[in-house]
Amino acid sequence: MFKRFTKTYTIVFAIPVILFWAILIKGFLVEPPPVIMEEIKPVEEKVEENEVSITISAIGDCALGTEYAQRGHTFATVFAENEEDYGYFFANVKDILAKDDLTIANLETCLTTAQQRKNKSFERVAYWLKGEPRYARILTEGSIEVVNIANNHTYDYGEEGYQETLRSLEKAGVAYCGFDHLLIKEIKGIKVGFLGFNQFGYKGTWQAYSALQEQVFESIRALSEQADLVIVSFHWGNERAIKPSLKQYELAQLAIETGADLVLGHHPHVLQGIKEYQGKPVVFSLGNLCFGGNRQPYDRDTIIYQQTFVFAEGELVRTTSKVIPCSMTTRTGFNDFQPKVLEGAEAERVRHKLRERSEMISFFTG
């Protein structure tokens, strides 16, 4: 488990890199959290005889539930209208997600029967998102194997709601990463590590930015020693912002310099650009995919991001990426919580939007 931090420390990215790492390593030797080890069934890919190919699909915010005050058209009523078909929500994208080796999503909902909502008086606008524990099966039916739980909604119903969410995921066979949960999945003999961090707090409580930076550094360093590939999820940035914030840049740079091979972002609820840093991709915001918390989203555009990693004799030798434009709903007037793949002119429009937003990113130079 992460220890609570009592030291005050501010990282200034303008100082020399050597001094930066020296201070971190010397001043912040914390006990890394335990690593969960799991193995999943591999997907066969055509590669060279001595190579192993692993394809990871990443999708954005998934809220399998509804804001507590909503009435009328909700995630629950749509589920009921579709005869409680767990496969309904991801039916239009499942074929894509089922053909990869692993899909990771950001689960931005409690899956719980808890009633006591967490006090959010410190937030300017507060929402509490909750779905039934059985909704974890929706992920399984959608071929989603891993979820990030480090975000600003998994503690909406306190510790009780959080723990029931974890039990619900475990019962459904869905692995999770985030906060003090580091995960390793073995795919085709390659150990793939997953971590998740929340810029807005640690397990429902406020956290200093310097403490978050410390967690990022120590956790990635610890996982890098055990995994061949490290994928890091960040819940970060500003809602509806199409450009990354300074903290997004800083955290992405810190993660990659410490050992991350792929950085995935969410929370803005809109697409942000994709940029490489030191040859490693940063997907700043994936947008929403299946989001029960918003019945009439003003921006329906989203993507499935796929990264293929090719290993030879245990070493990563090359990567390729693919963007699949999607809409978070099949309807135009409201959200039916059933994302679909876009084609033709609509797909090109989303690709163009993503290219434009990627060109806005100017912080990274290497």
pLDDT of the residue at 126 = 85
What per-residue confidence (pLDDT) applies to 124? 73
Structure tokens at 123: 């937030």
Give the pLDDT score at 365. 52
Class of domain 34-359 (CATH, top level): alpha beta
Report the C-alpha gap between 292 and 67 in whole angstroms. 8
- The distance between the two most distant Cα atoms of the chain, rounded to a whole number of Å, is 60
**pLDDT on residue 120:** 85
pLDDT of residue 32: 52
Sites in the chain below the pLDDT cut of 50: 1-31, 37-45, 366
Give the per-residue pLDDT at 35: 56
- 3-class SS of residue 239: coil
